[in-house]
Amino acid sequence: MLTGMAQFSVKDTLLVYYGDILTNMNLKDLLCYHKSQRSSATVALASGFTVRVGLADLDDDGKIRGFVEKPELEKPVSMGILVFKGETLEDMELLKKGRRKLDLMGDVIPYLIKVGKPVYGYLSDAFWYDVGSTEAYEKLSPKLVEEKFREILGNDTF
């Protein structure tokens, strides 16, 4: 059994929330969407993500054909929150064989898509922030956190 998953059964719904993500997204809405789609997996997605560096378009010789500084991506990005049907644990077990580790986004989601399982994206316009580095944490504004989470935590918290 996958580490930490022994207590779950194929009848459960699993909510995975990466520990370095802050969001005020309504998780109940995400779970309802997942169930209404009868999805094997649902990935919470956000649009309007800006790349933190410039992107170059190179030809075969290395000549730059185009350059865009800190562009906004056209496709939605993962917010680091997923929902799985419990029966996907069996798929994860199959995938895990012969591997030291299993990456949900890099291994499980592509596998489920490849074998024809229904995988959906839940596009959210909620606030989200990836605190995955010391630099990102230091850039996080306490005022922004207060503004975005007051509704969830209540006025007395701040």
Is residue 130 predicted with pLDDT exceeding 80?
yes
pLDDT above 90 (res 93): no
pLDDT band at 6 (very low <50, low <70, confident <90, very high): low
Q: Please tell me the least confidently modeled range out of 23-32, 60-69, 122-131.
A: 122-131
Other Cβ atoms closer than 10 A to 46? 20
Task: Select from 54, 52, 26, 16 the least CA-distant residue to 128.
Answer: 26
**Residue 100 near residue 116, CB atoms below 8 Å:** no
Q: Give domain limits for the chain.
A: 13-48+75-150
Q: Is 71 or 99 the better-scoring residue by pLDDT?
A: 71
pLDDT class of 5 with cuts at 50, 70, 90: low
Question: Measuring CA to CA, how many Å separate 59 from each of 20, 54, 56?
Answer: 37, 17, 10
Query: Exposed (0-12), middle (13-18) or buried (19+): which is 66, by Cβ within 10 Å?
Result: exposed
Q: Choose among 156, 153, 148, 157: nearest CA to 24.
A: 148
Average pLDDT for 63-78? 93
Instruction: Give pTM, 2 decimals.
Output: 0.79
Query: What pLDDT, on a 0 to 100 scale, did the predictor assign at position 135?
Result: 84
**Domain 13-48+75-150: CATH superfamily, name plus number:** Spore Coat Polysaccharide Biosynthesis Protein SpsA; Chain A (3.90.550.10)
Is 37 a residue whose pLDDT tops 90?
yes
pLDDT at 27 exceeding the cut of 70: yes
Mean per-residue pLDDT for 47-72? 93
